[in-house]
Chains A and B, each alone.
Chain A
Amino acid sequence: MTAALFNKNEVGKIGKAGSTWRDEVYSCHKEIKEKYETLSGFEVKPLYTPKDLDSLDYLRDLGFPGEEPYVRGVHPTMYRGRTWTHRQLAGFGPPEETNKRYKFLLHQGATGINGVFDYPTLRGYDSDDPDVYADVGRGGVSIDSIEDMRILFEGIPIDEVSVSLVTCQPICNISVQSMYFANAQNRGVPLNKLAGTSQNDFLMETAITIAPGVTPPKVSFRLSCDAIEFCTKYAPRWNPISYSGYNYREAGCTAPQEVAFMIANAVACSEELIRRGYDIDVFAPRLSFFLSAHNDFFEEIAKYRAARRIYCKIMKERFAPKDPRSLMFRFHVQTAGVALTAQQPLNNIARASYHALAAVLGGAQSVHVDAYDEALCVPTELSSLTALRTQQILQSETGVTNVVDPLGGSYFLESLTNQMEENIGSILAEIDSMGGIVKTVEKGWIHDEISAAAYQYQMRVESGEMPIVGVNCFQIENEKLPIELFRLPETLKIQKAKLERIKKKRNPVQVQKALDAVTRGCEEGRNLMELLVEGVRVHLTEGEVSQALRKVYGVWNPPLF
């Protein structure tokens, strides 16, 4: 039985009075803009009342934190019981340098590691590949072999600190996560003690950061499921995938698309793992999500809440899990990089603070705050410290952690949450009608949807409809850059020398054996991570693994434009 929260008679009266107010009072005043809408295009009214929530059933639609449908949060106590993880992204140059940055951030109070890898590593190339020399160490840390992984985490208590590996693409993840696991075992830390996350999202490889040497969508998807399966069996505290809505959004999609694409991806992975013989409750509690916090404050909070509710409903309907954790949408948030400006870069501190506030009011489990210089370069020590301090100020000084889901019950926010959920649902239905997420990627549909949305967004910036301070309004002419920019330390030489040394020292017979095992494993459809956690121990490099995979599976020509 359902029961509307508000008394029908009263709602009727409020509705009537509201219309009168709108027609006779509000309409006598001028508005500044012609139309009011959210960043993703939801129309916004001047005022919301119980009339907008006339069918809201509190227990069914909102409930309590830690209970279905989890709109109000996945934990009963939320930040009163445990604060969100302060997980600042870091990575640049050779592992020797990034190791220092990790230690610096941990020493300054970061509570988790968030390691990003350089472009060649993300795409599965070694540093000595002739096509990558200009990008080694850029955008992240360079990892070629298990030796780099050893150096990257040297002196860091990996049995205590949770580590997020921003491996993005499955072709990177399958090797790099294997190196992390094998390195942990070499250090005497058993896999079942390791806490962390790997990104491992096939959409990253086939629709979001498309690049040379992409494996076909089906293969990329399969590699991501291999990692999920491996962790399900051996590393139960590890989140083997982090559906990377953040990056879909950075590439240009809207808020509801961000959530819908992630959930469609999670549904596909669940179906595949079930096909492989696993019970939903064995792996689903470890599926995790990664979202953006963009400029539209309320829309973002509504997005997080709607995502929790619709995920709970969908998982329940499709897979009927018994473990409530299989229904929980747990997520990390990064403040929107795409919202930062190169102009007047210190303004980005203000932007990222609002973004982070939205993430926390939306109930994020873990947050990264962007540094003020990220539209110009990799963060310096000062800018990354300022970003970390932004989180610490939010947590300890503002009081926002005192109440669970403090904006729940707002007529506007609840109404927007409903609209958001409805829209996510219709995108999901569209993806279903096309045969699921892998098919939509193969068709190029996802890429088209995102690039069309990105273009529309830009048109709104161009027309001035979307003001961006310092870019299309409040500019400073001939601005002098008020900050020092990051300088990349020497990387290519160091990585190449290390690779040369490793290749000389390793046992070529063992390496060949490991490589052959990978090739055979591909052909036989075996779980490749099972082979690679062993294979990388003999210093098989990431590039060698990817080459072997590309040889068997071929490369895919992704949609470009």
Chain B
Amino acid sequence: MQRKIRILMARLGMDAHWRGSIIVARALRDAGIEVIYVGNQMPSNIVKMAMQEDVDFIGLSSLSGNHLILAPKVIKLLQKENSGDIKVIFGGTVAPKDIPVLKKAGIAEVFGPGTPLKKIVEYISAAATDLK
């Protein structure tokens, strides 16, 4: 039997908004993806948990504006742990000019406000096929 795709989802830092991340988590679960939702975390914990849980993806969420500081940290820590193969995606409130900055830092994809859930599910399914 094929192993399910696994994603760890976390809200970055102190961000207060859970609506978006929980909706995405539910949609991914409904699409047959295994979701480990860990709430608010700092980058070091996110990476630790992602490795423990042996996930294929990390989904980061933030609406607070802390993304340029914390999201690249997650990537750096993953690389340090030789876990750079875990793909990190980001969703939340992001100014358009920040998207290329995040991508340059190694975030695989950025989903801004108003992104259809379908698009996120499709992205993960396609990217998971690439991983295999």
Task: Mark A residues whose CB is within 8 Å of B.
Answer: 119-120, 122-123, 125, 131-135, 138-139, 209-212, 250-252, 338, 341-343, 375-378, 451, 454-455, 458, 462, 468, 470-472, 481, 485, 488, 558, 560-561
Closest to B26 in A: A455
Q: How far is the CB of A427 from chain B (nearest CB, A)?
A: 20
B93: contacting residue among A210, A251, A375, CB under 8 A: A375
Indicate if B106 sits at the interface (CB-CB under 8 A).
no
A138 vs B37: C-alpha distance when bound (angstroms): 24
List the B side residues contacting A378 at CB < 8 Å.
65
Indicate if B64 sits at the interface (CB-CB under 8 A).
yes
List the A side residues contacting B109 at CB < 8 Å.
none
Q: Which residues of B from 26 to 51 have beta carbons under 8 Å from A?
A: 26-27, 35, 37-40, 42
B96 A481 Cβ-Cβ under 8 A: yes
List the A side residues contacting B93 at CB < 8 Å.
342, 375-377
Interchain Cβ contacts within 8 Å, total number: 103
B40: contacting residue among A211, A250, A454, A455, CB under 8 A: A211
B42 A131 Cβ-Cβ under 8 A: yes
B13 A462 Cβ-Cβ under 8 A: no
A125 vs B40: C-alpha distance when bound (angstroms): 14
A210 vs B14: C-alpha distance when bound (angstroms): 10
A132 vs B37: C-alpha distance when bound (angstroms): 21
Closest to A485 in B: B95
List the B side residues contacting A134 at CB < 8 Å.
12-14, 66, 69-70
A376 B95 Cβ-Cβ under 8 A: yes
Interface stretch (choices B15-23, B53-61, B79-87, B123-131): B15-23
Q: How far is the CB of B132 from chain A (nearest CB, A)?
A: 27
Interface of chain A: mostly helix, strand, loop or mixed = loop
A251 B19 Cβ-Cβ under 8 A: yes
Given contacts A132-B13, A211-B39, A488-B65, 11 further A-B contacts (CB under 8 A): A119-B15, A139-B64, A210-B39, A211-B16, A212-B39, A212-B40, A251-B19, A342-B93, A451-B22, A455-B26, A471-B114
List the B side residues contacting A209 at CB < 8 Å.
16-18
List the A side residues contacting B113 at CB < 8 Å.
341-343, 375-376
List the A side residues contacting B77 at CB < 8 Å.
none
List the A side residues contacting B40 at CB < 8 Å.
211-212
Given contacts A119-B15, A131-B42, contact A138 B65 (CB under 8 A): yes
A250: contacting residue among B19, B35, B69, B112, CB under 8 A: B19
Closest to A464 in B: B116
Indicate if B105 sits at the interface (CB-CB under 8 A).
no
Closest to B29 in A: A561
A122 B117 Cβ-Cβ under 8 A: no
Q: How far is the CB of A379 from chain B (nearest CB, A)?
A: 13
A306 vs B11: C-alpha distance when bound (angstroms): 36
B22 A119 Cβ-Cβ under 8 A: no
Closest to B66 in A: A134
A210 vs B38: C-alpha distance when bound (angstroms): 12
Closest to A557 in B: B39
B38 A131 Cβ-Cβ under 8 A: no
B14: contacting residue among A119, A251, A481, A561, CB under 8 A: A119
